[in-house]
């Protein structure tokens, strides 16, 4: 599959909302650039895990989408398409401290986070 016909949300209820974006020139150029980088370097998340959060969560069940980047450089942890989530051998500080920002500096178990 080439960058020009890649739709990572095909078969989800996000697809009708975002399908047109995937045909726009900026998206195609961006995907070609990323594919070029993948041919030379390890790029995370892996291609099949891009938009993992949207494939795991129905659009109709979504109230808020947080878009961002958590820079993870440690070889023991790598991004895999879910915000503030890593495939772990060791949890990076940026993920450990993520909840503290939401909770006013106090670390609490995730079960106690506000809903």
Cite the beta strand spans of the chain per DSSP E.
77-79, 86-88
Nearest to 8 by CA among 29, 33, 27: 27
Q: What integer pLDDT is reported at residue 105 of this predicted model? A: 53
pTM across the whole model: 0.60
What angle is formed at CA 6 by the lines to CA 15 and CA 9, rounded to 5 degrees? 25
74 lies in the same domain as 18: no
Query: pLDDT truncated to tens, each residue of the chain (115 aa)?
Result: 565 577 889 899 999 999 899 889 999 999 999 999 999 998 878 888 888 888 888 999 999 887 766 666 665 566 677 776 666 655 556 555 555 545 555 555 666 655 5
Q: What integer pLDDT is reported at residue 70 of this predicted model? A: 62
CA atoms of 9 and 59, how far apart (whole Å):
11
41 lies in the same domain as 96: no
Structural domain containing residue 47: 1-61
Q: Which residues are catalytic?
A: 70
57 lies in the same domain as 10: yes
CA atoms of 107 and 110, how far apart (whole Å):
9
Nearest to 68 by CA among 56, 79, 57, 55: 79
């Amino acid at each position: 599959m080439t960058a020009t016909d890649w739709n990572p949300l095909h078969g989800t209820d996000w697809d009708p909302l975002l399908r047109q974006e995937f045909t726009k020139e900026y998206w195609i150029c961006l995907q070609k650039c990323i594919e070029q980088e993948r041919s030379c370097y390890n790029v995370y998340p892996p291609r099949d895990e891009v938009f993992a959060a949207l494939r795991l969560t129905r659009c109709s069940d979504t109230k808020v989408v947080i878009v961002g980047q958590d820079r993870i450089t440690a070889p023991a942890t790598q991004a895999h398409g879910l915000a503030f989530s890593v495939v772990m051998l060791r949890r990076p500080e940026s993920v450990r401290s993520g909840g503290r920002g939401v909770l006013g500096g106090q670390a609490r178990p995730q079960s106690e986070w506000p809903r």
